[in-house]
Amino acid sequence: MEFVAFLGNDKENWGQVVALLNHLPELEKAILIKSSKEFFPSADKTKIIQIDTTLPLTELTNKLKESLKKELSKEFEVALSLASGTGKEHMALISALISVPVGIKLVVFSTKGIEFLT
């Protein structure tokens, strides 16, 4: 399973992403998109994509699409966390993933553990 998450400037939500990275079963690869220059620890299976979120929405979407096409394998769907980031960042990311095309399975780490929202 491939995991995609946006790491926005709201660092207090990064813990959700870390928990998912540490607990997702069958994690093959994680792609983390960052707008911040802040350090984020990454593991062997993690690719970090730095992106300028001040771009207009359509440009941001196109940049994400280009980057994700290079990084994603040919899986049918990815696990996606929207715990961090803004609405604009989420819209661009979802639009880019759909354009790749790849299916989206929303995932969250809760008191129950990993939960997929269907």
Please tell me the predicted confidence (pLDDT) of residue 74: 80
Which residues contact residue 76 at a Cβ distance below 8 angstroms, ignoring those fewer than 6 apart? 102, 103
- The per-residue pLDDT string of the chain (118 residues; one tens digit each, 9 = 90 and over) reads 899 999 988 888 888 998 999 899 888 999 999 987 776 666 678 899 999 999 999 999 999 999 999 999 887 899 999 999 999 999 999 999 999 999 999 999 999 999 999 7
* 6 C-beta neighbours (distance < 10 Å), count: 28
pLDDT at residue number 39? 67
Which ranges of the chain does DSSP label H, i.e. alpha helix? Answer: 14-23, 57-71, 87-99
Residue with tokens 């269907």: 118
Query: Which domains, from first to last, does the chain contain?
Result: 2-117 (3.40.50.10770)
Q: 50 forms bridges with which residues in the sheet?
A: 34
Provide the pLDDT for residue 33. 94
Instruction: Say what the pLDDT of residue 10 is.
Output: 85
User: Nearest CA to 99 among 73, 70, 55, 61?
Assistant: 61
Strands 77-81 and 29-34: unpaired
Strands 29-34 and 2-7: parallel
Q: How far is residue 106's CA from residue 91's CA, in Å, rounded to a whole number?
A: 14
